[in-house]
Amino acid sequence: MDRKPLTLHRLRELYATGEKLTMLTCYDAVFAQVLDAAGVEILLVGDSLGMVLQGHDSPLPTTLEEMAYHTRCVARGNRSAWIVADMPFGSYYETVEQGVRSAAALMQAGAHMIKLEGGGWTVPLVRALVERGIPVCGHLGLTPQSVHALGGWRVQGRSDEAAATLKRHAQELAQAGAAMIVLELVPAALAREITAELPIPTIGIGAGAGCSGQVLVLHDMLDITPGKKARFVRNFMEGAPGIDAAVRSYVSEVKAGRFPDDRLHSR
């Protein structure tokens, strides 16, 4: 697939036309080539690498240095996709200045955008990054870096109060200049409401079909991850002759609105 490099302007154009955006996690150069060639628009260098590649039970042990290393690997293999790198646990918790330094390190490693978790307290950092020309993706709902405070890997925003907080945080992030927001493990109806109210795209994972796009952990959708999969995961290797075909099927199914199916993959 020969395409021009994806830019933030181009992603905004796709969003404006209603075309679904596709994102997958990616941690190395080879998979960056495969995903890019298959038409995935956004490669997420996720701190999930701490679990997927390193064997931890959460992303908390992942360091900024490790995130920068894997971002460099992905950047070398990528040709045209938009690269988003996660700000790992503790790399932006102390001060806005610390957050700016951490984001700069990931941008220097090859990221086009950084992603950070949480709303409310993150707004000043989002504003500072955007003012300095660093595109930002927010992350609300189930925020894995806060998994212990949230009581585990649980759906967020079920109560009226929690839903109102998520809506407020999403609006605040957008107003601060965030260009995109990941919604993880949020009830499908709530995610649809948030998406309709925002002027920026939402990328869902376990948040239903009403988001502007979708993301999955690569190893989950290729059915490589051992153990029981989350409800929102679909095995795209089933019936596919190879990895390239599985990724292309993912892109096609998201674009056509056939994945996720709210009856199967949402709450």
What are the residue numbers of the active site?
Answer: 184
What residues does 22 pair with on adjacent strands?
A: 214
Nearest to 34 by CA among 253, 249, 255, 244: 244
Tokens of 109: 């490693």
Contact call for residues 81 and 36 (beta carbons, < 8 A)? yes
Contact call for residues 40 and 81 (beta carbons, < 8 A)? yes
- What three-state secondary structure class fits 33? helix
- What three-state secondary structure class fits 40? coil
What residues does 139 pair with on adjacent strands?
A: 117, 182
Residue 249 CA to residue 206 CA, distance in Å, equals 18
